[in-house]
Amino acid sequence: MGRYFGTDGVRGEAGVRLTGELAYRLGRFFGGYCARRAAYEDKRARILVGKDTRLSSYVLEYALSAGIAASGADACLLHVTTTPSLSYLAGTGDYAGGVMISASHNPYPDNGIKLFDASGEKLSESLEAEAEAYLDGEEPQFPHQTGDRLGKIMDAGGKRQAYLSHLLACVGGLDLSGRKIALDCANGSTWRFAPALFRSLGAAVTVLGDSPTGTNINLACGSTHPDALCRAVLREECDVGFAFDGDGDRCIAVDGEGRVVDGDGMLYLSACRMKARGELGSDGVVGTHMTNGGLEAALARQGIVLTRTDVGDRYVHERMKEGGYCLGGEPSGHLIFSRHASTGDGMLTALLVCEAIAQEGLPLSRLVAGYRPRPQLTRSLRLASPAGILSHPRAREALAREGDTLAATGGRLLVRPSGTEPLLRIMCEGEDSRQLVQVADALQEVFLEIAKEEP
């Protein structure tokens, strides 16, 4: 990770780390880069700009767009939309790239800027490094354009319908008449799109998290807080429920019995169906180091190999491209179906799960019955310098000791800095739940002691 870019673009507290000035400069870089490339083809660069429902997204949208136009590219505003919609539209239209303003599942004071290339894929790490150098003044600055070389800022909200049509085409002929579905839109980007999409297929829809105020995105709702959805599914006697995150690239499901089915469960369902249909290709799927060991075992019983990569859907997608995989995902609910998308897409995932329920004639609980997750404990510690803590000798000693403790009983330990927040993530996995708590407690105590000693 660089000074500005993490695992999912630039992210930080809006107005503190992520300011309008920084957004303008990032727009100047991306607009200038795209305009320069377009000049070789004797045309003007057009860049899509989308945002989620955070209050700060408006400031960042206009600052970023002004920077794009000042560098000679056109900023085409999608307004409130999802990250996967921007990715899809950037890759299918005559666009030089796209920018999504969102901090995904983070609380509302945070925001972020994600950059996409003309294929709708997240910007390469090498180009992010160029952007870092530009922001630090280490690379030549793009000139302010004048006269008719200035870019324009224009409305492109109507383009969102093409993405919704694409989703419907992915499940052509799906009829959800008679189905009761609950949706939690996290007061975020999906709040208008998802309910209309499922109702258009005939479903009776119960909606939560569809009243964004600018300050309530992800607040006790959405994919990171599925409890309210679980209660709604039981209360309304729904067949299934789906919770999205702030920008719509994640999906967590709830079965008809009110139980959460996370990304690993839906990855199992999808992998088994795709293999049975001859659509899995390499008979393998891509997960991450956070993927539950129970999923690896369940897939193996079906003759499907799990390949692990670093945490983050960009790394899942990169590994899928390298190995020719058709399916990949994370427990957090990022699922990538490469036949349809190059990034995680919560609404697409929900539609494909509904398609499985309808075509198999089975409830979600039955479709994931072959997967039993191993006990897993996760904790997040908010620390000023998570990476610095891990480099401390006492931390390394504790990690080795506790890792050996879990490994002795067939368990796993993963401790990593978050790529999107100042958090240290602790994941312990094994069959003895009490041992997992003991290991997590021991590590937490060491990490917090080191943090107190830091100047």
pLDDT in the model for residue 426: 93
CATH topology identical between 5-159 and 171-367 = yes
HSE toward the beta carbon, residue 173, CA cutoff 13 A: 3
- Is 104 tagged catalytic? yes
| CA angle in degrees (0–180, nearest 5) for 432-435-440 | 130
Q: pLDDT at residue 1 above 60?
A: no
CATH superfamily, region 376-453 = Alpha-D-phosphohexomutase, C-terminal domain (3.30.310.50)
Contact 358, 176 (CB under 8 A): yes
Of the pLDDT bands very low, low, confident and very high (cuts 50, 70, 90), residue 57 is very high
Residue 42 has pLDDT above 80, yes or no: no
Q: What strands lie across the sheet with 423-429, from one edge to the other?
A: 376-382, 423-429, 412-417
Query: pLDDT band at residue 37, thresholds of 50, 70 and 90?
Result: confident
Q: Tokens for 247?
A: 């920008």
According to CATH, the superfamily of the domain at 171-367 is Alpha-D-Glucose-1,6-Bisphosphate, subunit A, domain 3 (3.40.120.10)
Q: Does domain 5-159 have CATH number 3.40.120.10?
A: yes
pLDDT in tens, 63-119: 999 999 999 999 999 999 999 999 999 999 889 999 999 999 999 999 999 999 999
Angle at the Cα of 248 from the Cα atoms of 247 and 254, rounded to 5 degrees? 135
The owner of tokens 């891990």 is: 390
How many other CB atoms are there within 10 angstroms of residue 142's CB atom? 19
Q: Give pTM, 2 decimals.
A: 0.92
CA distances from 245 to 55, 102, 305, 408, 428 (A): 16, 11, 29, 37, 24
Percent of the chain with pLDDT over 70: 99
Q: How far apart are CA 62 and CA 263, in angstroms?
A: 34
pLDDT digits (tens, 9 = 90+) for 304-351: 999 999 998 889 999 999 999 999 999 999 999 999 999 999 999 999
CB-based contacts of 225, cutoff 8 Å, min separation 6: 218, 243
pLDDT-derived band at 455 (thresholds 50, 70, 90) equals: low
pLDDT of residue 452: 85
**Of 104, 270, 332, 342, which one is the catalytic site residue?**
104
What's the per-residue H, E or C state across the chain?
A: CCCCEEECEEEEEECCCECHHHHHHHHHHHHHHHHHHHHCCCCCCEEEEEECCCCHHHHHHHHHHHHHHHCCCEEEEEEECCHHHHHHHHHHCCCCEEEEECCCCCCCCEEEEEEECCCCCECCHHHHHHHHHHHCCCCCCCCCCCHHHCCCEEECHHHHHHHHHHHHHHCCCCCCCCCEEEEECCCCCCCCHHHHHHHHCCCEEEEECCCCCCCCCCCCCCCCCCHHHHHHHHHCCCCEEEEECCCCCCEEEEECCCCEECHHHHHHHHHHHHHHCCCCCCCEEEEECCCCHHHHHHHHHCCCEEEEECCCHHHHHHHHHHHCCCEEECCCCCEEECCCCCCCCHHHHHHHHHHHHHHHCCCHHHHCCCCCCCCEEEEEEECCCHHHHHCCHHHHHHHHHHHHHHHCCCCEEEEEECCCCCEEEEEEECCCHHHHHHHHHHHHHHHHHHHHHCC
Residue 388 confidence (pLDDT): 83
Do 264 and 205 form a contact (C-beta atoms < 8 A)? no
Q: Tell me: the pLDDT tens digits for 356-384?
A: 999 999 999 999 999 999 999 999 898 88
Model confidence pLDDT, tens digit, residues 243-257 = 999 999 999 999 999
Q: How far apart are CA 73 and CA 142, in angstroms?
A: 12
Q: Amino acid identity, residue 324?
A: G
Q: Check residues 3 and 136 and name the one with the higher pLDDT.
A: 136
Q: What is the pLDDT of residue 346?
A: 98
Q: Where are the domains of the chain?
A: 5-159, 171-367, 376-453
